Structure 1
Amino acid sequence: MIGIAGAGAFGTALAIALASGGREVRLWGRDPDLAQRRDSARLPGMVLPEGVRVVENVSNLVESTVVLLTLPMQQLRPFLASEGQPLLNSDLVACCKGIDLTTLKGPAAVMREAGASGQLGMLTGPSFAFDIARGLPTALTLASTGNRAEAMQTVLSTQSLRLYRTDDVVGAELGGALKNVIAIAAGVVCGAGLGDSARAALITRGYAEMQRLALALGARAETLAGLSGLGDLILTCTSTQSRNFAHGMALGAGTPVAQATVEGVATARAAVRLAETLGIEMPVAAMVARLVADEIGVAEAVRQLMSRPLKQEQE
C-alpha cells in the first residue's frame, strides 16, 4: 500500500497513476469533501479510481509501505511538526521542489531534522500533473541513499511512470529546486518579448548557476545533467503548464500574476542567501529574487545582466 500526504494536483495525479497501475493507494488532503466527490478542482475532468481510498487522518497512512509527501516545500517543515508527526517512523519520499526559507535546507534535511527515522527519498524530474494523471509516459528520478531504494523504485513505478534511481540526493534536490528559479526568468524573457535567442542564452547561463551551487554543496555534475536537473529545466522553461514559467511570463508582460503556489519565488530568495554564504555568484537567481519582490523592473534587470563584466564562458 502506498500513502500520499497532500491532495493537490501532483499528489492526486500520483494517486491516479499508481492506483491505475494496480497499487492500493491511501490519499490524505485537507479538503474534507474529496472522499465524496472523487474528483479534484486541481485536475478538472480526472476522477480517482477505485484503488484510491481517501482518508480523513494522516495517521491512516502509517501502515503504508512508503508515504509520498506531496506538499509545497515551504509547508513541509510545519506539516512534519504538526499533522505529520505520526509519519516520522515511516519510509518517506518527498515530492516537493525547493529550498526551505527558514533553514536553507532541502527536503531530505528537513525530514531528518523533524525526526524522521525511516528510509528517506526524493522524487523529482520533468513532469506535469496532468500528464501523469492521464497515463502519459513520464520518467522521474528517485534519489535515496537507503538500502530499500530499489524496493521503493519498484513499488512506485508503473507502465507509464518510469523511475530511475540515484544516491545523489543533494543533486536531485537542487536540480528540482533551482530549475524553478530559471523557469521564472525564462518566462520573464518570453513575456517581455525579448526573443528565443535570449531565452536560450538565459536557460544556458541559468543551468551554469545551478551547477555552481549544486557542486559546491557536494552534488555530482552528472545528476544535474540528468532528469532531475537538465530534464526538468527543459520542461519548465518551455511550457506554460509550468506555474513558474507562467508566473515569469506575467511578470515580463506586466500583467497580473495568478494566485497559486509558485515554488520558484521562495526558492529564488533562499538560493541567493545560500549562494552568498558560499561566496558563489548567481546573477540570474539574484535578478529573479529582486523581480518577484518588485524591487526592480524587467528593463533594468536586463540592463544589469547584459552589462556584467565580460568573462570566459566556463566560469
Structure 2
Amino acid sequence: MKHEQFSGDPHLACARRYQRAAVIGAGSWGTALAATLARAGVETTLWGRDLAVINAINSQSMNTRHLPDVALPGTLRGSHDMAEALKDAEVALLVVPSRGVRAVSRLVAAHAPEAMPIAVCAKGIEADTGLLMAQVAKEELGDRPIGCVSGPTFARETALGHPTAATVAFPFAYTDRLHPEESPAARLALSLTTESFRAYVSDDLVGVEIGGAVKNVIAIACGMMTGAGFAENTRAALITRGLDEMKVLAETVGGRRETVTGLSGIGDLALTCSSTTSRNMALGQQLGQGLARADCFEGRAVVVEGEVNAKSVTDLARRLRISMPICETVRSILHDGVDIGVAFAALWSRPIEAEPRGMDVAFDHPSSDKDIATLAERIS
C-alpha cells in the first residue's frame, strides 16, 4: 500500500490516507469537505436527503442548491442511500446541523462498521443535555472512535481551493500514542490534506469542540455592536474577552487552554467575528441595526447555530458556576427580550477586574447610572 508522508514530523512519516470515505450531509460544508477528500485522492461518497442535489452531483459535478458556482471533482459520488454511502468506507464525516447530530448518528449506527472512526463536523452544545456534539454522537454510535474537524473555514472558499487550515481531533488511546501514525486523527488529517487544505492533529477533542461552540455566540455579539455603529475597538474587545470565556469553559470541562489559542479557537473566532459571510455575524449585525428577528435575512428561515448555542452554552456555564458575561449578554437579548442597548451597557459597566484571573480582584465601576443609560441609548 502506498504510504503518504507529513513533511517535517518523524512521528507521522508513515501515516496513511484512508482510501475510502463517506461524508454524511450534502450541505455546503459537507460538500466542501467531500470535495477536499476527493481532490486528495480519497474515494468519497457524499450522502444527502435531497435527491435533486445528489442527482446534480452525479450528473453535473455540482451542488446546485448549496454551492452552485463551484465545480466539484468528477470522482465525487453522491448517494441518497445511507447503507450504500457507508459501504466499504473506512472513515465517515458527519456534517449536519447541530440539532440533527443525534438523529443522523442513530441512522449511521445502523450501517457503519463497528470500528469505523467518525468525525463530527457540527459545532455546538445540545440544549437539553449540555453535551458537546461528539458526546452526542458517542451516545448513539457506541464504541466507534469519535472525533471532530473544526477550524476557521467558510465552505465556499474551501470548496474553491483557497488555502485553508483546520484541526482534526480524536482522543488518543495508549496505542495511538505508541503509533500516532495509525491514529484516526493522523490518518484523517492526511486524508484531507491537499495543496490548499492543511490539516493539523489534536488529541484535545473537548477543547477543540468548545472553541467551535462558543465562537458563534461571540460572533453574534460582534455583529450586534457592528450593526449598532461601533467599529474595530469594540470588536477587538469582544473577540479578546470572548476568547477568555472560551478558555475558562474549555478548561472547566476538561480541555486545555492552549487548544483555544489554535485554529479551532482564536482562528475560528477571528474569522466568524470578522465577516457577514458568517450567519452568526450577519444575524447580530441585522439585530444591531434594529431589525426584528423575524425580519432578518429578508424574512427567510435561516438556521443560525449561535442563536441556539447562546442558551445551551450559558446553561452549561451556569451549571458549572463559571462566568461568561458576553455569552450571557447575547442570551439575554435573543432569548429574554432584553434591549440591545441596555444589555451591552450593563456588560460594559460590570465591575473592573484584573485581566490575569489569578489576581482575583474587582472594583465597582465608576460610571453613574446616567452615564450607563447614555451608553445604552447610543447602542440602541
**What's the counterpart of residue 28 of structure 2?**
9
Q: 1:50 and 1:115 mapped to 2: Cα distance?
A: 31
| Corresponding letter in the other structure for 1:127 | T
CA RMSD of aligned residues (A): 1.5
Q: 2:156 and 2:194 mapped to 1: Cα distance?
A: 16
| Corresponding letter in the other structure for 1:27 | L
Within 5 A, what are the aligned runs for 1:1-315?
1-38=20-57, 39-40=62-63, 41-62=65-86, 63-82=88-107, 85-87=110-112, 89=114, 90-146=116-172, 147=176, 148=183, 149-255=185-291, 256-258=295-297, 259-293=301-335, 295-315=337-357
Q: CA deviation at 1:88?
A: 6.6
**Which has the larger displacement, 155-164 or 37-46?**
37-46
1:219–1:83 CA distance, 2 compared to 1 (3 A) = closer
Q: CA deviation at 1:294?
A: 5.5
| Corresponding letter in the other structure for 1:85 | A
Q: 2:44 and 2:110 mapped to 1: Cα distance?
A: 20
Q: 1:84 and 1:314 mapped to 2: Cα distance?
A: 45
**Which has the larger displacement, 53-62 or 41-50?**
41-50
Largest Rg, 1 or 2: 2
Q: CA deviation at 1:299?
A: 0.7
Q: Deviations over 1:264-306 (max 9, x none)?
A: 1111101111011111011110111122226111111112112
Q: 2:206 and 2:113 mapped to 1: Cα distance?
A: 21
Q: 1:116 and 1:3 mapped to 2: Cα distance?
A: 18
Number of matched pairs: 315
Q: Is the 8 A contact 2:94 2:122 kept in 1?
A: yes
Q: Deviations over 1:136-195 (max 9, x none)?
A: 111100111243222222222222111100100100000111111101111111011122
Q: 1:226 and 1:119 mapped to 2: Cα distance?
A: 23
Q: 1:116 and 1:34 mapped to 2: Cα distance?
A: 31
**What's the counterpart of residue 15 of structure 2?**
none
**Which has the larger displacement, 269-278 or 17-26?**
17-26
**Which SS does the other structure have where 2:296 is aligned?**
coil
**Which has the larger displacement, 44-53 or 95-104?**
44-53
Q: CA deviation at 1:96?
A: 0.7
| Corresponding letter in the other structure for 2:296 | V
Q: Deviations over 1:222-279 (max 9, x none)?
A: 1000001011111111111111111111111123322322111111101111011111
Unaligned 5+ runs, structure 2: 1-19, 177-182, 358-380
Q: CA deviation at 1:126?
A: 0.4
1:311–1:300 CA distance, 2 compared to 1 (3 A) = same
Unaligned 5+ runs, structure 1: none
Q: 2:338 and 2:113 mapped to 1: Cα distance?
A: 42
Q: Is the 8 A contact 1:61 1:87 kept in 2?
A: no
**Which SS does the other structure have where 1:121 is aligned?**
strand
**Which SS does the other structure have where 1:140 is aligned?**
strand
Q: 2:72 and 2:161 mapped to 1: Cα distance?
A: 13
**Which SS does the other structure have where 1:87 is aligned?**
coil
- Percent identity, aligned pairs only, is 40
Q: Normalising by structure 1, what TM-score? A: 0.96
Q: 1:261 and 1:86 mapped to 2: Cα distance?
A: 28
Q: Is the 8 A contact 2:310 2:330 kept in 1?
A: yes
Q: 2:276 and 2:289 mapped to 1: Cα distance?
A: 14
1:79–1:236 CA distance, 2 compared to 1 (3 A) = same
Q: CA deviation at 1:17?
A: 2.1
**Which has the larger displacement, 153-162 or 229-238?**
153-162
